[in-house]
Structure 1
Amino acid sequence: MKCVIHDQAVLSRPPEGPLAAHIASFARSLSEQGYGANSLHMQVRIAADFSRWLEQSGIGIRSICNDHARSYLGYRAQMVRPRRGDGAALGHLIDFLRREQVICGEKISIHRMSSTERCMQAYVEYLREARGLTEATVINYAPFVRSFLEDCFGNGRIAISRLCAGDVLRFVRLHAPRLHPKSAKIMTSALRSFLRYASFRGDVALDLAASVPVVPNWSMPAIPRAITPDQTRQLLASIDRRSAVGRRDYAILLLLGKRSANDAPQSKVVERVMCDSEVGQR
């Protein structure tokens, strides 16, 4: 049963969860701010989905904070294709709830970010704001880049200018064999992205992105690249050359195979077999 939240926002079912009673007033607030019909409907739908997720996660209304919004975006990216405005929509919702004093203001954290955390924060903002990448891509890239920085600098100060091609190669050679081929390709894409970002900032003089090796991703790696000469001879011997089709197949396999030391020159054999095949077909 459809539920009318606002004249520009109709949901497929009534809202559920701790924010259900506030979604209609959120929609009115968006309308008063001049948001168009499509944007308003999208933000209301995400607000309803977020409220349902809060209820499923056992999160009360007074506990809601920005971390929950980020966690939900990560969860949502696994279920549906993320859209560029998803994060902004949840930000508008959180701001609205704070203005209405439905939830408490964000507490000021006394935690001092490490050098790695500061570097990662700046990189993630670059991906979202400057590159406009989807939240799913950001979520996929960030862990690999963090691991790379921790591998190169440990818990010390991040000095990107000290990075060299050897650091990149060592990291990829160490971690790629442990990963699924698709994950390994995501890792190398993340490293290239971060190193281009470092070049964009002027932190490195060389194009270190070019030093990231290509990780092969064979779709069927168990298939052998070629068969042995003995296997080739066995395959040829299995063909019935008494028929025209058999002589044709034999000639095709000879063309595909390699010249054997015990066989006549391939070109002469093929020519003879093809002639026999033509005679047989007549």
Structure 2
Amino acid sequence: MLERFFVKPQTVDRIKDCWLGPQIELYVTALCERGYAARTIYRRVPILTAFADFTAIRSIEQIEQAEALIDAFVADWLSARRAGRSADACRRDRNLARVTVRHFFSLAISKTEYHPDRTALDNPFARRVPGFFDYLSDERGLRPGSLRHYRHYLRRFEVYLDQIGCYDLGALSLPVVTGYVTTMAQQFGPRSMINLAGTLRVFLRFAHREGVLPRDISKLVEIPQHYRLADIPRSIGWDSVQKMLDQVDRRTVVGRRDYAMLLLMISYGLRAREVAMLTLDDLDWKRDRLHVRERKAEHSTTYPLAPVVGEAIVDYLRNGRPEVPGRQLFWRHLAPRSPLTQSAVSCMATKYLHRAGIPVSRPGSHTLRHACVQRLVDSGFPLKTIGDYVGHRAASSTMIYAKVQVDGLREVALGDGEDLQ
């Protein structure tokens, strides 16, 4: 396998002759089987041979002993490359060396998939108010994404209480909570403040229910006023949509995949999570239908499969989708192979909006969803029909799009026979 990547026989002999040579060759084989690019192998094998030399100098002959020297090797390897390199370059080199050696031990020695060490943070207030996040997931049925929002705001609240020396939640008072809200108002926008206040209300109500707080002060936490129809949707015109689609290079594997995902969001107004959760079973080719099962509140929708969308998906399935055992529709192009996540889909939409130079606040997948809804509004469809089409749970969610129906509002304002100056 090494001869496939290293042309010079001397290079292959040097790799095989080191005491970790057989394991390095097994590692290269494992990388090829998992679809890693050749450039990854060219970058990682020299690091592994340097690790073998580093351990051999220290008379290490047992692999278990060598694994204990990973951090020492990384520090030594980085010191030899530090001269003239920026801090960011040194950080990237350190991460590359550490990940390479640990990945090597996982695949070639332990024969298991490697997962970077990411120490999960404890839930905020886990000791002072135990069971809160179990309550959110079990009793209220919140999704993991919603739980992350609760952790985000409550972790800041916990830090704030520690900073002011409020360690006893039983002594928590409204002025302390108000002080936290006032402090966060300097960092967060209006919508984030609404979420923060709502999170505090739920948390304080639960703490009172469990007897941690002597009285319920949750109702005293004021939620900032934000009127539903105060904003204008961050949609873009259809000319801008076409300009964005023109940025996709459909000659590449990634371009075929991205083009299919963009069409799904533009044509059906799908959310990033709904695109990421699509599977091969959701495509009914016999009836030309698309099933969207992972909607909000466990809803599902069936759409007629538009020819242009179907052709883009077929092009991706034939010439872009990797050969993987999973049933998910959209996958990472680079190894390790894994289904695309909600964040990856949203970042993909943001990338093409930036590439097209389209000015829009908070560009992302929801921008395309807004564009889909706005086009339906401009075409004269009833708001109830549009809401059902894009999966709005309440008609009020669709009403905001009537505000930007510029042509209709202009006719109402001007009346018959008047011209716009």
TM-score of Structure 1 vs Structure 2, range by shorter chain? 0.3 to 0.5
TM-score (structure 2 length as normaliser): 0.26
TM-score (norm 1): 0.37
Q: Which has the larger radius of gyration?
A: 1
